[in-house]
Amino acid sequence: MNLVQKIITAHLKAGEMTPGREIGLAIDQTLVHDATGQMALLQFEALGFSRIKTIRSLIYTDHNILQVGFENADDHAFLASAARKFGLYYSKTGNGICHQLNLERFAIPGQTLLGADSHTTTGGAVGELAIGAGGLDVAVAMGGLPFFLPLPEIMKIEISGRLAPWVTAKDVALKILNRLSVSGGRSRILEFTGEGLKNLSVTERATIANMSIETGAITAIFPSDENTRDFFRRQGRESDYQPLAADLEAVYDKEISLDLTDLEPLIAVPHSPDNVKKVSELAGLKVDQIAIGSCTNSSFQDLMTVAAILKGRKIPTHLSLVIAPGSRQVLSELAKRGALADLIAAGARIMEVACGFCNGVGQAPKTKGVSLRTSNRNFPGRSGTKTAELFLASPQTAAVSALNGFITDPRTFGPPIIISLPARFELDDALFVPPVPAEKTEAIIIERGPNIKPLPCFDPLSDTLEGEVMLVLGDNITTDDILPAGAHILALRSNIPAIANYIFSNLDPTYPARQKVTGPGFVVSGRNYGQGSSREHAALAPRYLGLRAVLAESFARICKANLVNFGILPLEFTDPAARWDIHPGQRLALTELDKLAAGSTLTVKNLTTGTPFKVKLDLSERQVSIVKAGGLLAQAAKNHLI
């Protein structure tokens, strides 16, 4: 067996190992944060659960940290009290980014982790099967029920060779994206093997696993080996280590190989992470802002390297350089070694230990500004500035470029910088508030400030559905397009009526107002609808406004599951050309929806042109019954679970 098959077999709760068929996995650990946790915890409560049933579940506060008003303070108070009530760990603001902290303190080889965040995949760096999902799926898993997904194909990525000086794990991630594109990983798990892995530390593997989601993959996984043991030893938790690898004769659905020796510094250019070029091709391009951090590249190794590059030098006056360490552990190690002082002396601004700039929470660039970042997504508007141009590259490229104020190939800097890791990282878990024992939770009241609005309820699907085409969109629509990032909108994650006013606002600001009054609505799109984040608000809030079906060529996995969970039909064109005959304002009708079944093909009638066309419902029976009920919460209510 390959490594993924071994972990799936050990966690299989439902279904069989038939490719494409749905399986149910037991989930050992879960994570949510302060952008997704509000809904997940409200849903956990609405599902009637009173105590988590996983080995460990955590709430992190890392996304929604800018106190722009009372809203996110309300959210944090809600999350902290819900953690106490239901038995979760609560990671206080200032502790760090969920994925960096999971890696440092909690990830365990061979365990399953379900996280309400797409970059949960980072845990794959230590042999954890770590998958991102919508908050409702995570709520169900917290209650001890399986997580369902179609049995993935396993793609082997055979690594050989060794990275040349100044070439980094980020360049590996970008090379993979360049080869697979933002949809080449769909329905797949990427499993890394090969003799070259001994040359990649856990930190480097984490960068690669993190960005695997950008290929549309379900996740990525590395074997747990001596490098993993070394990482755990330095984190003071060698007892969590166990060796894990694929069998020698393991079989895979697809195989590709990558020789690390051949790589050179790479950069993703606007506006997609798979739009990859060589850094040398862009050398000389003036940048306004450089932002170093995010769950992709904010480790001790990354930031110590940046500090070593900047030490004793000054950045040019036109440039804004911001640095956001990934965890409190990283920040205090930088401080202890004087690296923080070196960064400050060079002219860098030290940001809060959090996601921050990565999803537009502060540091929005100027109009048409050029921003070079070490994060993982450069979708339009992601930085908070619609017209900004975002480039993604390694911390090394970012730091050397910061010295010049223009994009620079880091190989021009000089001899390579070698960072030695502390024998034992500073271990201080004081900002993790541990769970309250079950017998002490009865008196705990969950705090609900005015920003915490009740969950909306949705009607079951009727037998016929007639409505208007509200938007016709292109390929690779991101969840940032559906629900934009940025501090002001993020503060409304627990308030569906308010956040709904921003749906599709970067693409068509008239959509929310139109959808509210039009009655049932349809959105038409191309390939890979809903790529990117796990935010279920990109399904829940449109459903609240009246969106009833998305007709697309194909869907990103998490988004499709979220649409189902909130009762929106994800319909796939059987003939992609049909999409070009549909225009905004036309009326469509679907009939005989009571007969829907897994794999049904439906005829949609375009009432405006009179032309029928066909779409497919590529769902399991379980999902069909959820959509018919009006979503998972409505189904649970119908079955008297709540």
Q: Which residues are near ligand SF4 by CB under 6 A?
A: 63, 97, 117, 119, 294-295, 355, 358-359, 375-376
43 binds ligand MIC per the rule CB under 6 A: no
Residue 375 interacting partner from ligand MIC, ligand SF4, none (CB closer than 5 to 8 Å by kind): ligand SF4
Residues 549 and 570: their CA atoms lie apart, in Å, by: 6
Nearest approach in angstroms of CB 26 to ligand SF4 is 25
Residues 135 and 455: their CA atoms lie apart, in Å, by: 13
R_g over Cα of the chain: 24
Residue 36 interacting partner from ligand MIC, ligand SF4, none (CB closer than 5 to 8 Å by kind): ligand MIC
Q: Of the two residues 399 and 558, which places its CB atom closer to ligand MIC in the complex? A: 558
Token duo for residue 208: 């690669």
Residues whose CB is less than 8 angstroms from the CB of residue 21 and which lie 6 or more positions away in sequence, other chains included:
15, 150, 151, 620
Residue 534 interacting partner from ligand MIC, ligand SF4, none (CB closer than 5 to 8 Å by kind): ligand MIC
Residues 437 and 431: their CA atoms lie apart, in Å, by: 18
Q: Of the two residues 97 and 550, which places its CB atom closer to ligand SF4 in the complex? A: 97
Q: Interaction with ligand MIC in 321-380: which residues (CB under 6 A)?
A: 359
Give how many residues touch ligand MIC by CB under 6 A: 12
Find the binder of ligand MIC among 6, 63, 175, 205 (CB under 6 A): 63
State the amino acid at position 336 in one-letter form. Answer: K
Nearest approach in angstroms of CB 310 to ligand MIC is 26
Nearest approach in angstroms of CB 522 to ligand SF4 is 30
Q: Interaction with ligand MIC in 287-316: which residues (CB under 6 A)?
A: none
Residue 620 interacting partner from ligand MIC, ligand SF4, none (CB closer than 5 to 8 Å by kind): none
Q: Any long-range contacts for 585-588 (C-beta under 8 Å, 24+ apart)? A: 585/468, 585/469, 586/468, 586/469, 587/466, 587/467, 587/468, 587/469, 588/466, 588/467, 588/468, 588/469, 588/522
Residue 273 interacting partner from ligand MIC, ligand SF4, none (CB closer than 5 to 8 Å by kind): none
Element (H, E) at 86: helix 70-86
Residues 175 and 260: their CA atoms lie apart, in Å, by: 10
Token duo for residue 289: 């802002």
Nearest 5°: the CA angle 262, 267, 271 is 140
100 binds ligand MIC per the rule CB under 6 A: no
Q: Beta strand 569-573 with 547-552: parallel, antiparallel or unpaired?
A: parallel
Find the binder of ligand MIC among 54, 112, 118, 219 (CB under 6 A): 118
35 binds ligand MIC per the rule CB under 6 A: yes
560 binds ligand MIC per the rule CB under 6 A: no
Using the contact rule CB under 6 A, the part of the chain among 328-336, 532-540, 583-591, 614-622 near ligand MIC is: 532-540
534 binds ligand MIC per the rule CB under 6 A: yes
Residues 278 and 70: their CA atoms lie apart, in Å, by: 45
The contact set with ligand MIC (CB under 6 A) reads 35-36, 63, 117-119, 132, 359, 532-535
